[in-house]
């Protein structure tokens, strides 16, 4: 058994860790990860607004207050979630520009301009003409807000990365207008960016003209059809999500932040798109189209609390109890590093199997219970909220979230129990041995 575990560890060291290192050093993945994280204030603000304007049963007990809250706070939705793709462009462009060693301001300029260039300034909608409704009338001179919302996030990421990559290539090839050294940077830098911005926009203009001749009509529509839709199908698939979490757990075992290396850069962009589309449906009073969105994290954020509580209350050795007590308070606020590095989980071969397997099983259980109870998390909450409160707020006070949270915790506790007992016994024997030596 020990020999087999050593072979497995060697294989993971040989193949998985180099791959993780490549992912962590990749500029595009880093920019996307940092860009998505930077939108957190906008998402949390809009989630708070949703709690206020859709507070359960408020329309029955205090209809006047409910109407007041909706009237006052609802205008915040279009300027937060309604233009979330624009915030993604700004944050990702800022990060990627820094990594590509160009001025962030002009990187943001070229990314926004490129995105707007491929966006049609017209929309088919219902209009009133002389008191008569006309369906599917083409209205020009307007920006379709749908392209700036959830459906535009993947397009925003692609256009941002491509535009800054093109801009930086042209800039670093010295295809710029050089001003005398006596000219201050506040004047020379804008002149240096003229040619790179102009050539970048010409490339996107050419792409727009070419795609307009196809059945897609627009580059946005092409990206959504060929890429975003399939990605949403994959990102919302429980088996794909479980696979990503298994990889994340393996990386954690080797001391690499698996959440930052896998979950945030790979799953979060797609999961955020699904979450925002759920919020749009929720705001419109329509059925929620997705379950496995980033808001789902509220039901599984406490998975690692199971082994920590097992250590704290079942451990007989001083080491187990002390590690459990030190890790418990941070874990209640979803911070698990004291447990992971203090026990340690890292490179602790006897704990490898439960560490890699139990959490994905807990996620699968949470998914099954959420489907069965129709308890779908809608709102993204701050990850530091305690478990039960986080689930309640994320599901807009659905009481089934408490049942799911407790069931997932108890399941994890039972799975971890035998491994914690074995580990505690080893610690106890080691402590007794040390005590005998001292005597």
User: What pLDDT score does 7 carry?
Assistant: 64
* C-alpha distances out from residue 46 to 35, 88, 303, 341, 374, Å: 18, 15, 26, 35, 23
Is pTM beyond 0.85 here? no
Expressed in percent and rounded to 5, the helix, strand and coil fractions of the chain are 75, 5, 20
Q: Per residue in 332-375, pLDDT tens?
A: 888 888 888 788 887 787 888 899 999 999 999 999 999 999 99
- Helix (H, G, I), strand (E, B), or coil: what is residue 398? coil
What are the backbone angles phi and psi of residue 137, rounded to the nearest 5°?
A: -80, 140
Checking if the pLDDT of 437 tops 70, the result is no
Size of the chain, expressed as the number of residues it contains: 439
Least confident stretch, 10-24, 145-159, 253-267, 305-319: 10-24
Q: Per residue in 241-279, pLDDT tens?
A: 999 999 889 888 877 778 877 888 889 889 999 999 999
Q: Quick one: CA torsion of 369, 267, 39, 290, rounded to 10 degrees?
A: -40
User: What pLDDT score does 412 carry?
Assistant: 95
d(C-alpha 116, C-alpha 110), whole Å: 10
Q: Which two tokens stand for residue 133?
A: 């409704």
Averaging pLDDT over each range in 12-16, 124-128, 133-137, 159-163, which range is the top one? 159-163
What are the backbone angles phi and psi of residue 112, rounded to the nearest 5°?
A: -65, -45
Checking if the pLDDT of 2 tops 80, the result is no
Q: Exposed/middle/buried for 216, CB within 10 Å: 0-12, 13-18, 19+?
A: middle
User: What pLDDT score does 156 carry?
Assistant: 93
Considering all CA atoms of the chain, what is the largest pairwise distance in Å, rounded to the nearest integer?
A: 100
Domain positions in the chain are 1-29+236-439, 78-229
Q: Do 288 and 282 contact (CB within 8 A), yes or no?
A: yes
User: What pLDDT score does 115 carry?
Assistant: 95
Q: Per residue in 172-209, pLDDT tens?
A: 999 988 888 888 888 889 999 999 999 999 999 999 99
Tokens 């993945």 correspond to what residue?
A: 29
Query: Mean pLDDT of all residues in the chain?
Result: 86
* C-alpha distances out from residue 406 to 57, 100, 114, 379, 437, Å: 25, 46, 48, 20, 44
d(C-alpha 246, C-alpha 274), whole Å: 22
Beta bridge partners of 122: 140
């Amino acid at each position: 058994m020990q020999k087999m575990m050593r072979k497995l560890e060697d294989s993971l060291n040989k193949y998985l860790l180099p791959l993780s290192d490549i992912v962590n050093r990749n500029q595009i993945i880093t920019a996307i990860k940092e860009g998505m994280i930077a939108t957190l204030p906008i998402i949390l603000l809009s989630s708070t607004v949703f709690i206020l304007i859709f507070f359960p049963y408020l329309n029955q007990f205090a209809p006047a207050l409910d109407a007041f809250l909706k009237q006052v706070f609802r205008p915040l939705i279009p300027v937060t979630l309604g233009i979330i793709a624009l915030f993604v462009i700004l944050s990702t462009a800022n990060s990627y520009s820094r990594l590509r060693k160009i001025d962030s301001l002009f990187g943001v300029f070229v990314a926004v301009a490129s995105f707007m260039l491929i966006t049609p300034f017209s929309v088919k909608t219902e209009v009133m003409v002389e008191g008569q409704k006309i369906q599917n009338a083409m209205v020009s001179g307007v920006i379709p807000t749908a392209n700036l919302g959830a459906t535009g996030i993947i397009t925003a990421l692609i256009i941002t990365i491509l535009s800054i990559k093109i801009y930086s290539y042209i800039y670093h090839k010295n295809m710029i207008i050089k001003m005398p050294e006596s000219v201050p940077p506040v004047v020379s830098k804008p002149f240096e960016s003229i040619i790179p911005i102009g050539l970048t926009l010409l490339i996107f203009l050419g792409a727009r003209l070419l795609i307009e001749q196809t059945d897609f009509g627009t580059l946005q529509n092409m990206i959504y059809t060929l890429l975003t839709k399939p990605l949403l199908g994959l990102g919302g698939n429980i088996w794909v999500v479980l696979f990503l979490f298994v990889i994340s757990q393996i990386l954690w075992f080797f001391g690499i932040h698996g959440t930052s290396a896998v979950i945030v850069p790979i799953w979060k962009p797609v999961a955020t798109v699904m979450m925002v589309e759920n919020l749009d449906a929720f705001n419109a009073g329509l059925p929620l189209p997705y379950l496995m969105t980033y808001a789902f994290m509220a039901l599984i954020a406490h998975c690692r609390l199971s082994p920590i509580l097992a250590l704290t209350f079942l451990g007989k050795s001083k080491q187990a109890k002390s590690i459990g007590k030190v890790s418990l308070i941070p874990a209640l606020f979803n911070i698990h590093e004291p447990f992971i590095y203090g026990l340690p989980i890292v490179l602790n071969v006897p704990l490898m199997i439960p560490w890699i397997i139990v959490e994905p099983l807990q996620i699968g259980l949470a998914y099954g219970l959420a489907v069965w109870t129709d308890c779908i998390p809608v709102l993204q909450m701050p990850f530091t909220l305690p478990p039960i409160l986080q689930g309640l707020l994320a599901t807009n006070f659905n009481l089934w979230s408490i049942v799911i949270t407790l069931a997932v915790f108890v399941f994890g506790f039972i799975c971890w129990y035998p491994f914690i007992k074995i580990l505690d016994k080893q610690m106890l024997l080691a402590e007794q041995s040390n005590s005998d030596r001292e005597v």
